Structure 1
Amino acid sequence: MSGHGTPIPMTSARSGPLKGEARVPGDKSISHRSLILGAMAIGETRITGLLEGEDVLDTAKAMRAFGAEVNDLGDGEWSVHGIGVGGFAEPSQVIDCGNSGTGVRLIMGAMATQPITATFTGDASLNKRPMGRVTDPLAEFGAQSFGRSGGRLPMTIVGAREPVPVRYVVPVPSAQVKSAVLLAGLNAPGKTVVIEKEATRDHTERMLQGFGAELSVAETDEGREITLTGQPELSPQAIAVPRDPSSAAFPVCAALIVEGSEITVPGVSQNPTRNGLYTTLVEMGADITFENPREEGGEPVADLRVRASLTNGIEVPTDRAPSMIDEYPILAVVAALSEGTTTMRGIKELRVKECDRIDAMARGLEACGVRIEEDEDSLIVHGLGRGGVPGGATCESHLDHRIAMAFMVLGMASQKPVSVDDGAPIATSFPVFEPLMAELGAQIRRDNR
């Protein structure tokens, strides 16, 4: 069952050629950060193209609860009247972050060095996810956390009254952990240093610099070292949110595997810390061209033109995982319809996402007739070629939006329809997924039970 209401069973059937333009929503990562940093600036930040999915709307509600004025101006345009670094008020109610691991971890970081207390919860999926990876470094600033066993929500964070700056080496590649530490460092005196051994998405660093924070990045023997000077006065910004490459992955991959398809996806972020999937697809033989490259809101973007392609299995470089960690479920679908074997290693982070995504994809693909191998840190898909996947199964979404969408894409090119037990979580990140795919020609229906 979805944590946001009644389950919505869905079925996807074999589609004719997909055609047209897919205007996918704004980037989820940048949308979260725009609201949070807008709330920590002094004055009005204007945001256009904000993703209006449930995850981001929950972050907007949270910023209101901490005292910022957040207004929906219509057509994806939002206004945030910030209250400054260190200006958060103590919320009167529990902060419900719904399904969003990004939202809750970043907000915890933002409030952890302020002398306030806040309690966080989420839906059934989020409340199973570990928070220790964030609360451990926040404790070094002086914050205290009290949650359920295993460091899980609901959890109360008591912010540090006299925070101290920290030097923190991120133990696993995680943009959420890195960003939480940087946001906490904003209200700590002196310099907070974060070191990551493998580069992860850098939206927080880019946006902090855009808001006027003093931040530098250097490559050292330890890794990528980010130094932030605390207690700045952040200046409000005008932010144009580029389209989300993680959401774009679904229509892009659908067009690749449905014979005769050709679509365009305008204005997709080409941030090099986010485009690992597209590099991988091209290596597999995908016909994708990147047109009209430009910069919007401090982020590189391009228009994608995608044509149906015969793809081949490859071994995905392990060091590419941080730049495409959310895209492995849909890559597994393309792999199933490719010739040969696709090997994905270095992906144990998928086991602590909205669900255990390695297990969810493995079990669903097996049910659809695909041979899978897996271990704790890898997934190997033995492809059956275009049109070779039998399908015909009902797969569990496990309250995970990306798992649900991945199996809906699989159904578009399988011999028999593919169903999911609950497509409701799709609304957390891609609320227009169904009408957008239908306009391209996909056959997706909601099943009445």
Structure 2
Amino acid sequence: MKRGQNTLQSRSSRLHSIDKKLIQLLAERSQLLARDARERKGNDKSYVDPEKEKKLWSLWRQGLEEHGLNERILRRTFNLVNSLAYEQAERREDWVMALHPRLEAVDIDLPGPVDTVKTRLWLIMGAVLGRDVRIPGAVLNDDLIELIKACNQAGAGMSWDQEGASSGTVCPQFDHSSIFVGQDPLNFYLLLGLSLTSPAVCRFNGGARLKSESMGFLTDVLAEFGARQVFLVPGSDGVPIRVEASGQVPSKVRVPEEAPDEFVLALLLLAPVWARANGEFRLVLNADLEQFRGKHHLIPIWSQLGAVWEQDGKELIFSGSELTMPQQPEVGLDPVLAGYVLAMPAFCGGRVLLHGTFPQAGPERDAFLELSSQAGLDVDVREGGIESKSGGMPKADLRLSCRQSPRLIPLALALALAGGQESILGLSSGQDMDFAAHILASLGMESEQITDQELRIRPARGRQREDLAVTAPNACWSLGLALMALAGAKVSIKNPGVLTSLWPQFWTLYKNLPRPRAKSLAGEDKKEESGHGPKRRRRIVD
């Protein structure tokens, strides 16, 4: 028994040693390939050098014969490892931002951030139906600008300025076009859906995030439209991809089990449009519509369009009724972006009033209101706005769960920190668990993993000794860290630009605390006013 334990420990030790070397080699490889990719981009070429990839893959292929590895899995690993380098090449130059907000009671009275997903969905519908839709106050983040530029590459007339975004009246035409859709999967699936409605041969490409997406499930769906896709990188099932569409709209489509939510959302948005081709369109989901997380985006849009639909179990049936497009649809506030600002009184007191319609439903809306209640915030949802004030004390048994709304996990952690008492945090992934534990340890707080998705947090026993300087895993973690600084934590963010890509105006708002005003925010917009112009400028507030 003892010999077996020693053997197991020896294997574990070897694995740990190999993985350490592997990570180091991956980092070195990514840096070299990223450097070459940046040089190519500087010469107006794509990041990817096909000839170099072929030579590198030939080396990997030798491993197939020498070590008996699975070719399909190894090819996918090769593409993913390359994506590490291309993601580095695409990453914007950043610097460390030390967060030193004024620790005073906030007094915020501003238009709230408009829902970033609904904005894109409405612009697509406006272009498809040939009606110029205007979204005032649209958050001009990277996903929106990339969608507008991608549609305009297909001949659409979308545009943006500091006051919002417009769809134009021209529907994208995809035949003989080559479209770069950026990083976001939803943007890709929206344009892919549009490309299927008329005969066309087109090509889609995207950034490192899209290149690592697995899109093999598209084969069956496109076949129902009389279309087919060709993955242009051997062994890959992501972009770049060529689509050959016949323009046939089927009367019924079944959603594959492995299809991501972004693809389902795109299908559901376009379903009322496709219904007009045959008088009816049926979409068979993998579960009841009530279980689909994106339904709160769609139902208000269907209602404003006048779409006629009914549900029969997992099947949605759309009639080919005429769709009426409002010139200025009601988009509403983004519950996540608004939620981080509305939570500020829990850290430093004061009040926040955001103008706009707060959503009536949705998992992130519900999660924010529950977190606010747990933290003792007084939140008043009213017609035309939402207000939050510092209310009573946090609940004695503080349980902050965000398993169904992972983008609010950083907010929950920040509220637990501000509460200063023992609490339990519900998370959705091991990555969030590890990062949360690292943050807490750096701030002098104790934590204990109770289950795979629960973390017990205990109050700090002493003061924070050193500044916490971290790279935020995503934009929402940057928002959470900004709130922790309002609670007195000494925090520096090594990549503030990751939040700028999601919400360009936040750092300006943060810099002007405790009393930011709309005029100061309007003067700091990061995007140029254009739909076709040169590359946009980016400003990061420090």
What TM-score bracket applies, with the shorter chain setting the length? 0.7 to 0.9
Match of residue 93 from structure 1: 178
Amino acid of the structure 1 residue aligned with 2:479: M
Secondary structure of 1:409's counterpart equals: helix
Q: Deviations along 1:73-102, whole A, 9 cap, x unmatched?
A: 65225352143xxx633363332324x333
Segments of 5+ residues of structure 1 without an aligned counterpart are 295-301
Deviation of 1:376 after TM superposition, in Å, equals: 10
CA distance in 2, matches of 1:278, 1:378: 19
Q: Within 5 A, what are the aligned runs for 1:390-409?
A: 392-398=467-473, 400-409=474-483
Tell me the number of residue pairs that the alignment of Structure 1 and Structure 2 aligns: 418
Match of residue 274 from structure 2: 187
Q: Please tell me whether residue 275 in structure 1 is matched to residue 365 in structure 2.
A: yes
Match of residue 211 from structure 1: 305
Q: Give the direction of change, closer, same or farther, for the CA distance of 1:144–1:79 in structure 2 (3 Å limit).
A: closer
Secondary structure of 1:116's counterpart equals: strand
Larger Rg computed on CA atoms: 2
Amino acid of the structure 2 residue aligned with 1:440: L
Amino acid of the structure 2 residue aligned with 1:403: W
Q: Give the direction of change, closer, same or farther, for the CA distance of 1:210–1:374 in structure 2 (3 Å limit).
A: farther
CA distance in 2, matches of 1:230, 1:95: 32
Q: Please tell me whether residue 62 in structure 1 is matched to residue 135 in structure 2.
A: no
Secondary structure of 2:293's counterpart equals: coil
Q: Give the direction of change, closer, same or farther, for the CA distance of 1:140–1:432 in structure 2 (3 Å limit).
A: same
Q: Deviations along 1:268-302, whole A, 9 cap, x unmatched?
A: 522311412222213413323224235xxxxxxx3
Q: Give the direction of change, closer, same or farther, for the CA distance of 1:76–1:141 in structure 2 (3 Å limit).
A: same
Match of residue 108 from structure 1: 192
Amino acid of the structure 2 residue aligned with 1:277: A
CA distance in 2, matches of 1:389, 1:206: 46
CA contact (8 A) 1:374 1:380 kept: yes
Match of residue 384 from structure 1: 459
Q: Within 5 A, what are the aligned runs for 1:28-107?
A: 28-72=116-160, 74-76=162-164, 78-83=166-171, 88-90=173-175, 92-98=177-183, 100-107=184-191
Amino acid of the structure 2 residue aligned with 1:216: E
Secondary structure of 2:274's counterpart equals: coil
CA distance in 2, matches of 1:361, 1:153: 33
Q: Please tell me whether residue 342 in structure 1 is matched to residue 424 in structure 2.
A: yes
Deviation of 1:191 after TM superposition, in Å, equals: 1.8
One of 3, 9, 13 as aligned partner of 2:100: 13
Secondary structure of 1:193's counterpart equals: strand
Q: Please tell me whether residue 178 in structure 1 is matched to residue 264 in structure 2.
A: yes
CA distance in 2, matches of 1:388, 1:270: 39
Q: In proportion to residue count, which structure has more strand?
A: 1
CA contact (8 A) 2:343 2:388 kept: no
Q: Give the direction of change, closer, same or farther, for the CA distance of 1:292–1:170 in structure 2 (3 Å limit).
A: farther
One of 408, 411, 415 as aligned partner of 1:327: 408
Deviation of 1:232 after TM superposition, in Å, equals: 5.9
Q: Give the direction of change, closer, same or farther, for the CA distance of 1:134–1:387 in structure 2 (3 Å limit).
A: farther
Deviation of 1:409 after TM superposition, in Å, equals: 2.2
Of 367-376 and 52-61, deviating more is 367-376
CA distance in 1, matches of 2:284, 2:448: 36
Q: Alpha carbon RMSD of aligned pairs, Å?
A: 3.9
Deviation of 1:53 after TM superposition, in Å, equals: 1.6
Segments of 5+ residues of structure 2 without an aligned counterpart are 1-87, 517-538
Deviation of 1:434 after TM superposition, in Å, equals: 0.8
Q: Deviations along 1:98-123, whole A, 9 cap, x unmatched?
A: 4x333233333333444334444444
Deviation of 1:23 after TM superposition, in Å, equals: 3.4
Q: Give the direction of change, closer, same or farther, for the CA distance of 1:387–1:28 in structure 2 (3 Å limit).
A: farther
CA distance in 1, matches of 2:443, 2:205: 35
